[in-house]
Amino acid sequence: MYVVGVDAGGTSTRACAVDAGMRVLGTGRAGGANPNSHPPEKAASAIAEAVAAATIDLDRAELGECVVGMAGSSKLTDPAVASLFERTWREAGFDVTPHVVSDAETAFASATDAPDGTVLVAGTGSIAGRIRDRQMVSVSGGYGWLLGDEGSGFWIGREAVRATLDALTRGDLLGELTSSVLAEAGVDPAAPRAFHLLITVVNGEPPVQLARFAPLVSAAVESDPVAARIADDAADRLIDIALAARDSDETTPIVLVGSVLGAASPVRMRIHDRLRDRDVRESKDGVLGAAWLAALRGFGRRIPHPNRVG
C-alpha cells in the first residue's frame, strides 16, 4: 500500500506518492487547482492529472489514502462542486476518495510533527489558523483586502503607495521607496499633480494589484526609513493576528508560510526577532505535509515526519 499527498495551489498542483517510511515513490505536476480562481472542472482535472502522474508506475489498487491540501478548499462545501470533484476522481480510475484540507493545514504539517499550534499565512492576503490535532479549528484575520489582510502583500503594497502620496502632497524629498513606487506605476515624479496620476493608476487596477508594490519595500528596507517603518508595522500586525489565534500561555509551534514570510523577507526577520522566545518554524514543502497527513491516515501514528527522513 502507498498514499498520496497533493498540494493544490492557484498556479500549480503537485502530487507525491509515499510508502510507510515516507520514501517517495512517484511525483506528478499539473496546472492550478484552486476552485476559487479556476473553473471547478479545471481544478478537479488538475488534481486527478497530478495524482495520475505520481502513480503512473504504481498499482492504483494499492492506493490507501489521499490528502489534498487546497487553496480555496471551502469551495467544496458547495455540494455541486464536491460532486464534480468526486466524479472527476472516479472517472480518473481512483477508488479512494481524497480527504481535502486547507493548504494552511498541510503547511503546518510540513514544518512540525506537533499536533497543535498556529499557522501564520501571509501572501497576497493574511490569516492565522489555530491548529488542534493537525486540523484548523478557528482563524484570526483573513477578512480580505477590503476589511483586513493586515501585514499581507496587499497591505504592504498599499502602505507603500500611501507613503508615496503623502510625500508628494507634502512636497518631501523622494526616497528610495517612494521613487521606486512611482517608477513601478509609470508616473513621472516631476509631472504636474503627480499624486493625482498615481491615484488614477492605482484605482484603474484591481485592488489586489497593490501587492505588486510590496517587493519594493523589501528592496528599500535597509536604506529607507519609510520602508523600514512599513516592514515594522507589517510584522507587528501579523504577530497580532497570530497571537489572537492562540491561548495566552500557549507554547506550541508557530509556523510561517507565504511570500511575505519567505527566506529573504525583512518582515519574516522582524517576526523572528520579536518572537525569539517562541517556537517559530518555517513551512517546508506543502506536498510533503499533505503526504505525511495521508500517511498518518493510512499507516497510523508512528510514521516518521518528513523532517526526520533522509
pLDDT digits (tens, 9 = 90+) for 236-281: 999 999 999 999 899 999 999 988 998 889 999 999 999 999 999 9
- Give me the mean pLDDT over the 176-188 stretch: 95
Structural element, H or E, at residue 281: strand 280-282
CATH topology of domain 2-113+285-308: Nucleotidyltransferase; domain 5 (3.30.420)
Task: Compute how many other C-beta atoms are within 10 angstroms of the C-beta atom of residue 218.
Answer: 19
Q: Where in the chain is the domain with CATH 3.30.420.40?
A: 2-113+285-308, 115-252
Tens of pLDDT, residues 54-88: 999 998 889 999 999 987 777 777 888 888 888 88
Q: Tell me the three-class secondary structure of 238-272, residue by residue.
A: HHHHHHHCCCCCCCCCEEEECHHHCCCCHHHHHHH
Whole-prediction pTM: 0.85
Taking the chain, what is the end-to-end CA distance rounded to the nearest angstrom? 21
Tell whether the model's pLDDT for residue 310 goes beyond 60.
no
Measured CA to CA, the distance from residue 156 to residue 221 in angstroms comes to 12
CA 104 to chain centre: 7
Tens of pLDDT, residues 82-119: 888 888 888 888 888 888 898 889 999 999 999 999 99
Do the beta carbons of residue 309 and residue 289 sit within 8 Å?
Answer: no
CATH topology of domain 115-252: Nucleotidyltransferase; domain 5 (3.30.420)
CA 46 to chain centre: 19
